[in-house]
Amino acid sequence: MSQPKDISQLGENEIIQKKREKILNLRSLNVNPYANDKKPEMSVSDFIRKYKDVPQEVLAETGKEEKHALAGRLMSLRVMGKLAFGHIKETLEKVQVVFSKDFMGEEFDSVKKNFDAGDIVWVKGEAYVTRTGELSLLATEAALLTKNIRPLPEKFHGLTDKETRYRQRYVDLIMNDDVKTTFYKRIKIIAFIRKFMTENGFLEVETPMMHPLVSGAAAKPFITHHNALDMPLYMRIAPELYLKRLLVGGMGKVFEINRSFRNEGMDLTHNPEFTMMEFYWPYADFEDMMNFTEELISSLALEVNGTTECPYDDKMIDFKRPWRRLTIRDSLVEYGAVSSKEDLESVEILLNACKKNGVDISELKNASKYKLMMELFDAVVEHQLIQPTFITEYPSENSPLARKNDLNPEYTDRYELFAAGKELANAFSEQNDPESQFKAFEQQVEAKKAGDDEAVDMDLDFIRALEYGMPPAAGEGIGIDRLVMFVTNSPSIRDVLLFPQMRIEK
């Protein structure tokens, strides 16, 4: 039986074994296969930028005058007698490296014997352009910095299995430049938001991630235990009540970008650990917040993509201002959940509408009209809100931390922002009346006693803070992960999280 010509023709286990043998051989020769004694003098991208537009004939004359040391991952290596051709990659850029026996002498034999695709290498040499017109580095020196053991995914099919890509994100980033580009955009998005907020007078703060009480939003918390204090703690659902305490303390306009945690299901738009920004603006109301949010997100899309239009799935979302504003009651009529606003006053009509639209009403027999309205909104309206839309005037019953509307206290000065059928932000004029807030907490306590595991706890310290006086204010939470999804046209939240939550690998 004929032997394989090179390592790439072996099976994965055989390749790993061959590479381990190379490591043992290098160590036997006192060569460190994980060296840290060679440093690049310029990046691959800087090398390309410096020479990409230099004519071939000019480079042939001047290229020998200067040598450059580069480092990166060797993505390919093809040996042809006394020549070898490879590409080294750093971030998104890669450049060809030509190894020649004539230029390297005995060092070429070491490259030929010990280098493999996947290794991280250091090379030094001169810039030149090959006969085919490809900018290259003609190596005069080379050194192994990190010996790769596991073979990279096959060149033409790459790493395509979603489960493997999420679980082995490090390989995904090596092989798929579009994935790396998504995360570079995510970094740019968050940096832009920070700059925008600070330029508009907001101070970035940090608040606790472990709370003694369940607070901030309607969601099921993760529970842990602090041994030294012998007490339960809850991973924060939202930072809201701590940020409002800062308003009481006179900190002014504040924001926080950080993790929150919700012990709920996972789907295309939900991960148990997620990034959000919450910000609070003294002496502003929810109308101010709508205008500010429009400016923030439309400016962000323009900065990152060069346009306010963002393709998403099979839709084109345009974040150009102004955005549509619609009350929740008007939306239920307009999108066909009920025939008229009068229908919204009838629990019987709402129950029938819920049943007609596929809502499980088995546990809704004693629900209020407000609860039924929200069920209908989720079932009928939300997925139809494609272009950016502010849905306003949520029922007070569903908004325990929001300020009630002065003219109609059944509803609040609150909105949620939707795009592509998904919630992107939640905001309201804040409740700063300690008595009203206490009553809202009492209702939540009763709901929790009745079995609602998403109800918040009574926070007496927060009531005490309000009794010192919190200025009228508006606050908002924006889901950063979902925002990144829209701006990068990523169909799943796991595509914009470097390490999404996964089941334990078997």
**Beta strands at 414-419 and 210-211: parallel, antiparallel or unpaired:** unpaired
8 Å CB contact between 393 and 411: yes
Structure-derived torsion over alpha carbons of residues 130, 132, 134, 139, reported in degrees to the nearest 10 = -30
Q: What was the pLDDT predicted at 131? A: 85
In the predicted structure, residue 5 carries a pLDDT above the cut 90: no
Residues 349-375, mean pLDDT to the nearest whole number:
93
DSSP class of residue 237?
S
What is the tens place of the pLDDT at every residue in 301-323?
A: 999 999 999 999 899 999 999 99
Query: Quick one: average pLDDT of 153-163?
Result: 68
Mean pLDDT of the 235-245 span: 95
Contacts 24+ apart (CB under 8 A), 423-426: 423/382, 423/479, 423/482, 424/297, 424/388, 424/478, 424/479, 424/482, 424/483, 424/486, 425/293, 425/476, 425/477, 425/478, 425/479, 426/476, 426/477
3-state secondary structure of 141: strand
Task: Say if residue 409 is preceded by a cis peptide, omega within 30 of 0.
Answer: no
Tokens of 271: 């991960």
CA angle 450, 454, 457 (to 5 degrees): 80
Quickly list DSSP for 285-342.
Answer: -HHHHHHHHHHHHHHHHHHHHSSSEEEETTEEEE-PSPPEEEEHHHHHHHTTSSSSGG
Strand-pairing partners, residue 232, are: 225
pLDDT reading at 2 higher than 50: no
The answer to whether residue 107 scores a pLDDT higher than 50 is yes
pLDDT at 383 over 60: yes
158: pLDDT confidence band, cut at 50, 70 and 90?
low
- Residue, of 456 and 499, whose pLDDT is higher: 499
Average pLDDT over residues 169-193: 96
pLDDT at 172 (0 to 100) = 93
Assess contact for 447 and 206: CB atoms under 8 A. Answer: no
Question: Do residues 383 and 362 make contact, with C-beta atoms less than 8 angstroms apart?
Answer: no
Give just the sign of the alpha carbon dihedral 280, 284, 286, 290.
negative
Could you report the per-residue pLDDT of 46-61, keeping only the tens digit for each?
Answer: 999 999 988 888 887 7
> What mean pLDDT, rounded, does the chain reach?
92
| Mean pLDDT of the region 161-177 | 91
For residue 31, pLDDT over 50 is answered with yes
Mean per-residue pLDDT for 3-31?
82
64 pLDDT more than 80? no
- Which pLDDT belongs to residue 159? 67
Share of the chain above pLDDT 70, in %: 97
pLDDT in tens, 442-493: 988 888 888 887 788 899 999 999 999 999 999 999 999 999 999 999 999 9
Phi, psi dihedrals of residue 463, rounded to the nearest 5°? -60, -45
User: What pLDDT is attached to residue 298?
Assistant: 98
When pLDDT is cut at 50, 70 and 90, the band that residue 363 belongs to is: confident
Per DSSP, 133 falls in state: S
* Predicted local distance difference test score (pLDDT) of residue 1: 38
pTM for the full predicted model: 0.90
